[in-house]
Structure 1
Amino acid sequence: MARAAPFPVALLLCLALACGADAARKTVGVYELKNKKGDFSIKVTNWGATLMSVIVPDSKGNLADVVLGYDTLAEYVDGSSAFGTVVGRVANRIANGSFVLDGKTIHLNKDGTTVLHGGHRGFNRVIWTVKEYVPSGDSPYITLYYRSFNGEQGFPGDLDVYVTYQLSSPYHLSARMNATALNKATPVNLANHAYWNVGGHGSGDVLGQVIQVLASRYTPVDRSMIPTGEVAPVSGTPYDLRAPTPLGSRVRLVSGAGMAGFDINYAVDGWDGDGGLRKVAAVRDPASRRALELWADQPGVQLYTSNWLSGVKGKGGAVYGQYGAVCLETQGFPDAVNHPNFPSQIVRPGQVYRHHMVFKFSF
């Protein structure tokens, strides 16, 4: 399919960023994808390969934006919530900011005692290149590219990274990520950090929504949110969400880093590394009857219930508070580089890391 010109009402800014002189000359834009019917659309920016909005109908045909976010690009650049971004080179936490690879200790640029989501200038804090953009039609899509350089945030080797967002019928949004290691072995674990509220981004908390996570095991963590190395059964614990469960009935029975709420990685049932998609989780809002199913090909999914969100000014004057959304981040297991029993995240020169997820909406 031929490339299309940039979306005619795309907001284009030249940002003077502390990312090096070359990056300061790159252009950041907002790009929209829309289905033929006009009732399903998303907006994406190449700042952090960020999913800015997802607009879908409810059972009465009312449209709502179901991801949290900001009104302006400047707020995405300055914001600390990582709404909708792609995080990497390694999502989640790496203990002590270090690991051993092929007998050599790799020291990363850590913040405090760990590295979170690739470091303070991870993939969510850089400008991506728009490689292809088809805004409408049967399957509109956008493909973004980033070259991560050897030593970026301490990670070894050059890495070519692509992310493609695509709409398809009836109301499916897919995100495909791949990364090729060019010259050195390196860990790769990308994730999308969208904050979902299927009732609508400004509809309040999600405690009345019903969640299901198709996982019989999870990876317990210590006080620093680092996995202990155990892969434990959820049976008999508040983490058991295999049956549809109102979030409000469990959210105060669990905690992460001392704050009540979910912030934990689940081991997805049935994953065997074959690259096939499996149903990972589902969320349903009883009020609007809008629902989301997540399918993916990764071994884990991080469930985070926005425990630390507080008084954040969002889109359209909405103010996002605690439990205002759920994050469902399909991923490799956190800190896998320091746990040989976890599925490996190491990608060797010439190998390609792949991560495919599909968000299926219904109402």
Structure 2
Amino acid sequence: RYFCKITGISPLFACIGNLGDVILGYDTVAEYVNGTAYFGGLIGRVANRIANARFTLDGKAYRLVPNDGNNTLHGGHRGFDKVVWTVKEHVAGGSSPFITLYYHSFDGEQGFPGDVDVHVKYQLSGPHELSVRMNATARGKATPVNLAHHAYWNLGGHGSGSVLGEEVRLFASRYTPVDAALIPTGHLAPVAGTPYDFRTPAAVGSRIGGLLSRGVNGYDINYVVDGGGLRPVAVVRDGASGRAMELWADQPGVQFYTANGLSGVRGKGGKVYGRYGALCLETQGFPDAVNRPSFPSQIVRPGKVYMHHMVFKFSF
């Protein structure tokens, strides 16, 4: 059996059978509000980084709130993970329980243009599946929209230690190289022959030495997902517990992050999370796409709808 509960604004998951809570998080809503790790965060208006906290759209320059050096990260100081969402629907029983959250993002919020109505639906779409559907409708002005689900996964159990031994496969033959500030250079590079190559299953830690030798402290990079539509993005397996997770999504990219920034973070049940204590697989548009015309556009025109669908499939 598989059990899912949604607490506050962040989803928490646990597998029953080989029992274990496989996602990092906090015990209280206050900790989510005050935390800086984006545990389980519903990220927006634009996930990932925007260079120099600015962009030009339809001839008008917009200045955003810088919160990652000179850049904007995950929507600014008060991104969508820090706001209060409204529960629009909640069905607790039946074979496919779900909850739908709603947020109205106002014109000028964190510097972004135009009003946007956002709906996100979390649903147990099968005995061992979680479906997340996001949509956002632009009102009045064109605006960039790039939503993401920022879960920190450890299939060995949250607080169980490093995920460097977990096996990962990524359905991506290219990635977007970045500069020292993690801003994409604008190029698409092949993963072949690099530490970023997970086209065949490999332990997370098997290639990380190639990054450490360059002064990069772990994975925090956007991959170009092969194919289009709702398709496989990643598979993660934990040998010790026997748990596995498949991720399917319809976005052009996925940010693979190995929790490089965690250090002594106290989480649920008093567990302490450290570096490499989880991995994130954030399906999304490419970072800084608003400043890179060669990247898939994340601009939503008035009356048009941004859509993002992902499915997590678990086995154990």
TM-score range relative to shorter protein: over 0.9
Alignment partner of 1:253: what SS?
helix
Task: Report the CA distance between 1:196 and its aligned residue.
Answer: 0.4
Does the Cα contact within 8 Å between 1:291 and 1:362 map onto a contact in 2? yes
Task: Report the CA distance between 1:310 and its aligned residue.
Answer: 0.7
Which residue among 281, 290, 298 is the counterpart of 1:345? Answer: 298
Pairing 1:51-200 to 2, within 5 Å after superposition: 51=11, 53-57=12-16, 61-111=17-67, 112-200=69-157
Relative contact order, CA 8 A, sep 6+: which one is greater? 2
Q: Distance in 2 between matches of 1:173 and 1:157?
A: 31
Task: Report the CA distance between 1:87 and its aligned residue.
Answer: 0.8
Give the partner amino acid of 1:85: G
Does the Cα contact within 8 Å between 1:259 and 1:308 map onto a contact in 2? no
Alignment pair present for 1:285 and 2:245 = no
Does the Cα contact within 8 Å between 1:265 and 1:302 map onto a contact in 2? yes
Q: Distance in 2 between matches of 1:185 and 1:347?
A: 6
Structure with bigger gyration radius? 1
Q: Distance in 1 between matches of 2:213 and 2:6?
A: 31
Does the Cα contact within 8 Å between 1:256 and 1:262 map onto a contact in 2? no
Alignment partner of 1:121: what SS?
coil
Pairing 1:302-341 to 2, within 5 Å after superposition: 302-341=255-294
Partner residue, 1:207: 164
Partner residue, 1:40: 3
Pairing 1:288-299 to 2, within 5 Å after superposition: 288-299=241-252
Partner residue, 1:22: none
Identity, % of aligned positions: 67
Unaligned runs of 5+ in 2: none
Unaligned runs of 5+ in 1: 1-36
User: CA 1:136 to 1:346, structure 2 compared with 1: closer, same or farther past 3 Å?
Assistant: same
User: CA 1:307 to 1:314, structure 2 compared with 1: closer, same or farther past 3 Å?
Assistant: same
Q: Distance in 2 between matches of 1:235 and 1:257?
A: 17
Count how many residue pairs are aligned between Structure 1 and Structure 2: 315
Give the partner amino acid of 1:40: F
Pairing 1:202-241 to 2, within 5 Å after superposition: 202-241=159-198
Give the partner amino acid of 1:72: T
Deviation track 1:203-240 (CA, whole Å, cap 9, x = no partner) reads 11101110011100000000111000001111111101
Q: Distance in 1 between matches of 2:5 and 2:214?
A: 33
Deviation track 1:13-71 (CA, whole Å, cap 9, x = no partner) reads xxxxxxxxxxxxxxxxxxxxxxxx6x41222313xxx22x10113xxx22211110011
Which residue among 252, 262, 271 is the counterpart of 2:219? Answer: 262
Q: Distance in 2 between matches of 1:164 and 1:318?
A: 29
Partner residue, 1:12: none
Alignment partner of 2:209: what SS?
coil
Task: Report the CA distance between 1:255 and its aligned residue.
Answer: 5.6
**Structure 1 residue ranges, 4+ long, deviating more than 6 angstroms after superposition:** none
Task: Report the CA distance between 1:85 and its aligned residue.
Answer: 0.7
Task: Report the CA distance between 1:258 and its aligned residue.
Answer: 4.8
Alignment partner of 2:172: what SS?
coil
Q: Distance in 2 between matches of 1:331 and 1:319?
A: 28
Partner residue, 1:8: none
Alignment pair present for 1:246 and 2:199 = no
User: CA 1:285 to 1:176, structure 2 compared with 1: closer, same or farther past 3 Å?
Assistant: same
Deviation track 1:81-125 (CA, whole Å, cap 9, x = no partner) reads 110011110000000111110111111122331000000001011
Q: Distance in 1 between matches of 2:190 and 2:122?
A: 34
Which has the larger displacement, 78-87 or 103-112? 103-112
